[in-house]
Amino acid sequence: MAAVSPPPRSWLFVPATQPERFAKAAKSGADRVIIDLEDAVAVEAKHDARRQLARGPLPEGVPFYVRINAFGTEWFEEDLALVASLPVAGVLLPKAEDVLHINGVAAVLAEEQCVVPIIETARGLWQVLELAMAPKVERLAFGALDFQVDTGIQCDEQSELELAYARSRIVVAARVAGIAGAIDSVSTAIADESMLTRDAQRSRRFGFAGKLCIHPKQVAAIHCAYLPSQQEIDWASGLMEVLAARPVAARGAFSYCGAMVDRPVLDRAREILAAVSARPNDSLPAAV
């Protein structure tokens, strides 16, 4: 049986106007690289960015995606046509709101390419399950900054409790649709590692499989946040040892570390140990 690759955690943006950074991004350790034709490119530079990207070639060693400009913009169709001609894994579609738009994108892409809709408007969130179930959708992404602008939500920077509903809805929609785990929004903190770690740990707790990032410095902290802590590993290992020592007839429900254990708790322990075994070379976060 072939080994299952662990889910990608870090999705690093690099501006399309800076092709000299593509190779650096590919070597940054990021699990995925996103060449950005949208927010990172000024209006007057859109055509030149597309022209530079068409020149290629792209570095090898990591899957590349392209974030195009949104449906309805003057750059959308040419962006999409270019992506379909490139050796990239797929396209990130910003401000995704309508299944018909995703259908149109899917029809243009090459057979092996996929779509990653970015949920960053109220309408997109409202339609999120339909978007997740559309053809060629690999996973969903959350664009928290644009979502706040569209909805008028103003977040507390420490917790972002105001976005809890949106995050939960996106994660649940991905699960119901049976697609890969969703990607959480970027953190604007580049030098503040503690803030980035807190944000990435929140993403993990919400059930996101990974996180968008805007600088190579963010990659290591995101990877670390997506690993179980030593405390979690010790708990899971100890639980499995206790389970193995119990008679088969006494494994239905029992007490461990002062808490009740049944099948969901055992499943969680197995997930923790599987996550560690899938990434044996990663450094573990400190116990908390």
> Using one digit for the tens of pLDDT, what is the confidence trace for 20-69?
999 999 999 999 999 999 999 999 999 999 999 998 899 999 999 999 99
- The mean of the pLDDT values for the chain is 92
pLDDT above 80 (res 2) = no
What number is the average pLDDT over the span 239-246? 89
* Domain map (residue ranges) of the chain: 10-225, 230-278
Kindly indicate the confidence band of residue 286, based on its pLDDT and cuts at 50, 70 and 90: very low
What number is the average pLDDT over the span 270-277? 84
- Nearest-angstrom CA–CA distance, 153 and 199: 18
pLDDT above 50 (res 288) = no
pLDDT above 70 (res 70) = yes
Question: Considering the domain 10-225, what is its CATH architecture?
Answer: Alpha-Beta Barrel (3.20)
pTM: 0.88
pLDDT above 70 (res 175) = yes
What number is the average pLDDT over the span 132-141? 97
Q: How many CB atoms lie within 10 A of CB 148?
A: 18
